[in-house]
């Protein structure tokens, strides 16, 4: 995706940016969804991906794999 310029604008008592429909489509998000800003070597990255949630999900999957037999018995 090519660089897209956005302007900072007033939103109530705060400031925000308006994202073009093409950017929302590229990110597969819509009004009401959450986006995450993460630091990147060249600035910041805007993404629907939550790295902290992903880390927790990976840990949960590891625990489930390691304790598969125990979880199966608990489910009975």
**What is the distance between the alpha carbons of residues 19 and 4, in angstroms, rounded to a whole number?**
9
Supply the pLDDT for residue 51: 72
Output the tens digit of pLDDT for each of the chain's 76 residues.
Answer: 778 889 999 999 999 999 999 999 988 999 999 898 888 899 988 888 777 777 787 788 888 888 888 888 888 8
Supply the pLDDT for residue 72: 84
Looking at residue 59, what DSSP letter applies? H
Distance of CA 22 to the CA centre of its chain: 18
Supply the pLDDT for residue 55: 77
């Amino acid at each position: 995706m090519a660089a897209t310029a956005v302007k900072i604008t007033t939103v109530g008592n705060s400031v925000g940016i308006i994202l073009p429909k093409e950017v929302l489509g590229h990110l597969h998000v819509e009004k009401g969804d959450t986006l995450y800003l993460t630091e990147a070597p060249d600035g910041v990255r805007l993404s629907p991906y939550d790295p902290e949630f992903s880390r927790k999900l990976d840990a949960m999957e590891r625990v489930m794999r390691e304790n598969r037999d125990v979880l199966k018995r608990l489910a009975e």
